[in-house]
Chain A
Amino acid sequence: MESTALTLNWMVLTDDELIHSFVEGNQEAFRGLVSKYKDPITHYIHVMIRDYECAVDLAQETFLRVYKHADAYKTTYQFSTWIYRIATNLAIDEIRRRRRQMTQPLENRRHSSGTAFPTESYIIDTRGLRPDEALIQKEKLRYLSNAIESLPRKYRHVFVLKEIQDLPYEEIADVLSCSSGTVKSRLHRARGLLRKKLAHYLNRGKV
């Protein structure tokens, strides 16, 4: 009962209140932040690198860094900006590592969980769909995921943060340490590139 009461209590506190409470030594506040952000951060990294095991690992690393450096958090940014920035940097490092690995001989590449060659598609809830509808939905997402993955990194981050994580321009600018104008132009470019890549499938019921 007490645990439920505490959980409810964390849900009404703001991120700032939680992080400050944690900095003052309240471990429960950190758990509150984890339960609030674990899904969005895992999802964000998963969309960026398309490898679930690795996304979970990096999401945990993100929270570990929050834990270690909570006292360095500045209230000039929102907490969500800070945690997305950490997650973005980790995802960028992982993408770079994989790119380096792609240039190595085949036998040196890693194939276990955290594979360098993500082939996994999203686990789609197909309940309520006919088998053919479920198949079409899977295909749609596969095309889109491939198209997003093929975007240059700077466009991919902006697109995912805006269209999937639904962050406002200003927060995206803070996460990526650039101006709102840059976010606007990169988003425009990302949409244009995706439109070109998916041109054959748009408005035809295929995608």
Chain B
Amino acid sequence: MDCHRFKVIIGEYYDQRLPEKQRLIFESHLLSCGECRKTLQDWAEISALAKSIPMTKAPEHFEAALQRRIMEARRKPVGWTALVQWLTVPQGRMAAWVVALMVLIGSLFFLQRDNKPEPRLAGQASHTIDNHAPEPVALEAPDYVNVLLKGNGNEQVIMRLPSTIRVYMPDNDDSYYRNVSH
């Protein structure tokens, strides 16, 4: 008989969790399978041995010691009180200074980054817009570029515009605004 098939259910048989029908089939297999019988015998021996491990008892002072720990835990401050108390010790104060310094450096870094001007082409227009293009309708940046009008071999500065503008571009079926920048 195929013993390998029964290896899957031998544990459930051992723990008496096998349905009646499967149990009967497995027991008929056991009659002819020495290997499965040996496995069950070994498991039973290991199990009996494990159960013979003497029960460790908690010491007599267990409850008194636990009570002390509970009282200590109750006395320990939580939340803001804990934070304030922590700040009174030198390590806490040092950590607080370090955190404050890091926050300050971080803030300066981000402020500096936000104020940095956008790169642009000095004194030249990067986009030449068509004569017939509609007028820009919204302004989004403080820096300016020159807008040139080209025609008949000449070019002429006709206006100065912010470097980022929103332009009405009716070149599709649906109208939409498009950002134009450097």
Q: Which residues of A contact B (CB under 8 A)?
A: 31, 34-35, 38-39, 41-43, 46-47, 52, 55-56, 59-61, 63-64, 67-68, 122-125, 137, 140-141, 144-145, 148, 159, 162-164, 169, 184, 187-188, 191, 194-195, 198, 202-203, 207
Query: Distance in Å from the Cβ of A3 to the closest Cβ of chain B?
Result: 13
Query: Distance in Å from the Cβ of B49 to the closest Cβ of chain A?
Result: 5
SS of A interface (majority): helix
Q: Which residues of B contact A (CB under 8 A)?
A: 10-12, 15, 17, 39, 41-43, 45-47, 49-59, 62-63, 65-66, 69-70, 73
Given contacts A140-B52, A195-B39, 5 further A-B contacts (CB under 8 A): A34-B63, A67-B73, A163-B50, A163-B51, A188-B11
SS of B interface (majority): helix
Asked whether, in the complex, the Cβ of B47 is within 8 Å of the Cβ of A163, the reply is yes
Asked whether, in the complex, the Cβ of B49 is within 8 Å of the Cβ of A141, the reply is yes
Q: List 7 A-B contacts (CB under 8 A).
A: A35-B63, A59-B62, A140-B52, A164-B51, A187-B11, A202-B46, A207-B45
Closest A residue to B12 by CB, please name it: A184
Interface residue from B11, B42, B50 paired with A164 (Cβ < 8 Å): B50
Give every chain B residue within 8 A of A122 (Cβ-Cβ).
Answer: 53-54, 56
Give every chain B residue within 8 A of A207 (Cβ-Cβ).
Answer: 45, 49
A46 to B55 Cα, complex, angstroms:
10
Asked whether, in the complex, the Cβ of B45 is within 8 Å of the Cβ of A145, the reply is no
Asked whether, in the complex, the Cβ of A64 is within 8 Å of the Cβ of B46, the reply is no
